[in-house]
Amino acid sequence: MADLTAGPMTTAEIRAEYDTMTRRKRLYGGIMLVLFVAMMMAGFRTADGRNAGSFRDGITHVFDYPAEVLSEAGEKLALLPGHFVSFFPALIETLNIAAASTLVGLVFGTLLSLLSTRGMARWPAFIPLFRRIMDICRAIPEIVIALVLIFLLGGGPVPAMIAIAIHTAGALGKLFSEVNENASLKPVEGLESAGASWGQRMWLGVIPQVGPNYVSYALLRFEINIRASAILGFVGAGGIGYELKNAMSWGQGRYDEAAAIFLLLFITITLVDQISSGMRDRLIHGAKA
């Protein structure tokens, strides 16, 4: 208001003010940039210093190992199809771990998300509790639960499945509750007035609205879970990761097997990626006529 009573500013004044503002903004931006670069450099130096091999030595050898593997695989090219067949069951196990944990996670994630959304919750007083449960499920890396369960249950697919399912339930639960917030509550109210129970209200009133989004998120999660179950195999949970670890620790002489597993994993991940992104596109935008 002061500006209006003081009369209009001259162009020179506006210009001067604009210039100082720009200069200040640039200065702040510059300081931030310098700080940021310094942080990156310091971080890199620390990481480099605490690493067993230094970046400078390693960077020239990055392709040594892939080259070794590929050359041995190249020599034994004829064996590759046989390896594909022999490792296929392990791949199926990895896929099963991912699929089963996604399904279980989907069920629990749905429940958790419905229980923690305002307007849909069965016990509104406990919404914060279910939110915290979701947060904790999401925060635990799969490997933690998997390793503890491997100690209790012995190696195998079940520990990995449970571990991934817990994380999936938390992650999907959070995404689902965002979806739920956008869902209309009118069908729920309508069903309630007709005397429907909580389960019926959710199943008939909410799920049809949010179903496509849920499935699309679950597909996304499935992709991620394949990677996770491969990694967990590496620490002893069975599946293709376990085979990879065996082939790798054997070293030279079984590199053709390692190459076959690399290829299988790569093809599977790419394929599932493509299929699921196509399906997700259809789910969200509807089938293309």
Site for another protein in 237-266 (CB under 8 A): 241, 244, 248, 262, 265-266
HSE, CB side, 13 Å, CA atoms: give it for residue 136.
6
Within 49-108, the residues that bind another protein by CB under 8 A are 50-55, 58-59, 61-62, 64-66, 93, 96, 99-100, 103
Residues that contact another protein, how many (by CB under 8 A): 73
Q: Is 44 in the site for another protein (CB under 8 A)?
A: yes
Within residues 217-236, the interface with another protein by CB under 8 A covers 217, 220, 224, 227, 230-231, 234-235
Residue 286 tokens, joined? 């509807």
DSSP notation for 259-286: HHHHHHHHHHHHHHHHHHHHHHHHHHH-
Residue from the set 154, 190, 199, 278 that interacts with another protein by CB under 8 A: 154
Among 112, 116, 142, 242, binds another protein (CB under 8 A): 142
Phi, psi angles (nearest 5°) of residue 11: -60, -40
Q: Is 117 in the site for another protein (CB under 8 A)?
A: no
187 is a site residue for another protein (CB under 8 A): no
Listed in sequence order, the DSSP H helices in the chain are 2-5, 11-50, 55-59, 64-75, 80-115, 127-139, 142-153, 157-181, 186-193, 198-200, 207-232, 240-250, 255-285
27-35, 76-84, 187-195, 211-219 -> range binding another protein (CB under 8 A): 211-219
